[in-house]
Structure 1
């Protein structure tokens, strides 16, 4: 096979998932190592709907490390990228020095070309950096034959990336060591644990958020008194309750904790000085809608959570999905010719009762929701075996580049 030729780049392609936190990570105690001020817990979303795909190519002929993100070459010198590359190479060298052979044909001094694409909007509060860095670290580790605890390396790229190293329900343990060795992600339950749980991403805006998470966190740590209360008095108990709710598939508790934690995170953003606004008028309307819907049914059937952006992520059970989708269609009428409103897992049709419409009783906001992604909990990173899915061609350059040496 021609790719075994020593002058041909060795290529490997992997995918990694997005995760959405239900107990939020907000604030670092160490900026360089990305050590959080509190533990967090997330649900890994299914890669059939949301994922990052990354191809890494290595060759003795490459002159330098290079990276292309979503079709555009970026600077490889980004400090967080460099942290991940450096750490993987260090572990690969350590492995060789302990007598274990390197992966066939891969020299530890070989430069890498990295090409990565997301199948969802970047920087719109959909945890793109989490999937991106998890995918980068997982792929590099496979290329260089590095095994063992990878979540601590992914964490150095993007904090929440450590949680995308596992499928299902994942906790990021904050740890207490100064070097961050014990600040790692662990699976609480696999994706198969709670098959009825569904996740609906209501995409409010695909625009870049006004304040980056990194910048917002730093300001919150410096100025928010509520953040100090949260990390000391709220999160430790809340983590225990949430883990217990996940183990027991207790949706009412899971949902209430999820909404309270989202509310507190955004309260911290308001308590930050100057204040940070990630939610917009559509976000606020979704919050009202969820509470009115639950109140009408006399039980908690829906939970919302919002990360650092206006998009709502709704957790519910499969039996309630069809009705809720119709509620969204009714109160946020989509554009008639605006493409596909519902993407992802198919959803049955439901008819709304007049009683439910009146109980919710909100003004409709036309085009407030661009589209909905219907998904569920899914697995962690994986290798793609089909060579046709490589993002880099046999020469180690992006397949869509007409001049493979441009850049």
Structure 2
């Protein structure tokens, strides 16, 4: 026991990922095995990330968890599933390395604090970043090495894609135990430096229908979902991987929009129907198509996850003009200086021809703000002790 530190503490960050070929529906609820493979883009952590601190100590009486400064129920099934799996892997690896006697730290309770720098449960993939960060941080605290897809997946299916930077596919797998249902990088973060991502935040409110409940209902009632999983997605996965590797934006953009549209059509095909998009979401879609029609090519693409917020993909040569179009159609009401967050975008004037082509009456305040970012790396370890969310007592630090 004397060789064990009284407190082991680690802090890590993990990114948001946005699927361009969507995951919706599970074939195994307990193991979180998807009906189809999916592919995502990892967003840069300078703009969107989860930070998690985990600490283990022989002095802790019980496991405890805080999210965004508020203590939450540590008994949540998915949280417990992640904890059990990481401890199982730690015990399995230690037995292989050190014999049958478990090291003392495997019996220690854990305290976890996590915070997001973006809206939680609003359709911005907060659970993916959160559980990827949890899995990555716990692995370092409990000294687990190797593939973490299964640990992250137990918390949130799409979390396994946030374990990597760049462009990432999640193989649906074929084995009943899910061992082959893992994430794999398709291309690294610097593969497509011209690519921009604009997150148009329409609402930061918690969505009415959670993804887990929505998926279950879709699996039970939507015939379109079954057709999509078996007949549509396999071909789209192959084509999307080609578009990414060849940096074919026209193909990438069109396929991204088509897959987003089909995902939301599946939600409407669910009974009772699920509608994650609102009127502003639909106006953004219209704006994108009018913008592309004006240019005679696909310059911009949208995708929507399970929420009304739009994620826009575009390239260096179109980002400033599209930002000007967004501001023209959705002018900020009062926070003009805070309307654009993240990377700066040089303002440009909007031509009269494009204004006429858009043919949209301004809708002030419909978009709350925009986060401009690029493709980013996977999880990171923070070495600076000042960045820990927990103090030396294992409790959350006071808010600054």
TM-score (norm 2): 0.97
How well do the aligned residues superpose, as a CA RMSD in angstroms?
Answer: 1.6
Among 313, 334, 342, which residue is 2:332 paired with? 334
- Residues 292-311 of structure 1 aligned to structure 2 (within 5 Å): 292-311=290-309
Change (3 A) 1:347 1:338: closer
Deviation sequence 1:319-339 (CA, Å, 0-9, x none): 211111111111001013466
- List gaps (5 residues or longer) in structure 1: 403-407
Return the alpha-carbon distance in structure 1 between the equivalents of residues 166 and 93 of structure 2: 30
Among 196, 199, 206, which residue is 2:197 paired with? 199
Aligned to 1:115: 113
Aligned to 1:30: 28
TM-superposed CA distance for 1:19, in Å, is 0.1
TM-superposed CA distance for 1:106, in Å, is 6.4
Aligned to 2:96: 98
Return the alpha-carbon distance in structure 2 between the equivalents of residues 5 and 162 of structure 1: 34
Deviation sequence 1:60-88 (CA, Å, 0-9, x none): 00000000001100011111111111111
Aligned to 2:76: 78
Aligned to 2:153: 155
Aligned to 1:405: none
Aligned to 1:314: 312
Change (3 A) 1:57 1:336: same
TM-score (norm 1): 0.95
Return the alpha-carbon distance in structure 1 between the equivalents of residues 18 and 120 of structure 2: 15
Q: Does 1:395 align with 2:389?
A: no
Dislocated runs of 4+, deviation >6 Å:
none
Return the alpha-carbon distance in structure 1 between the equivalents of residues 59 and 181 of structure 2: 37
Deviation sequence 1:226-276 (CA, Å, 0-9, x none): 111101110000000000000000000000000000000000011000000
Is this contact kept in 2: 1:269–1:276, CA < 8 A? yes
Return the alpha-carbon distance in structure 1 between the equivalents of residues 37 and 9 of structure 2: 36
Secondary structure of 2:107 counterpart: coil
Q: Which of 339-348 and 27-36 deviates more?
A: 339-348
Is this contact kept in 2: 1:255–1:300, CA < 8 A? yes
Aligned to 2:9: 11
Is this contact kept in 1: 2:4–2:105, CA < 8 A? no
Return the alpha-carbon distance in structure 2 between the equivalents of residues 227 and 53 of structure 1: 34
Secondary structure of 1:99 counterpart: helix
Return the alpha-carbon distance in structure 1 between the equivalents of residues 99 and 59 of structure 2: 21
Return the alpha-carbon distance in structure 2 between the equivalents of residues 363 and 355 of structure 1: 15
Aligned to 2:134: 136
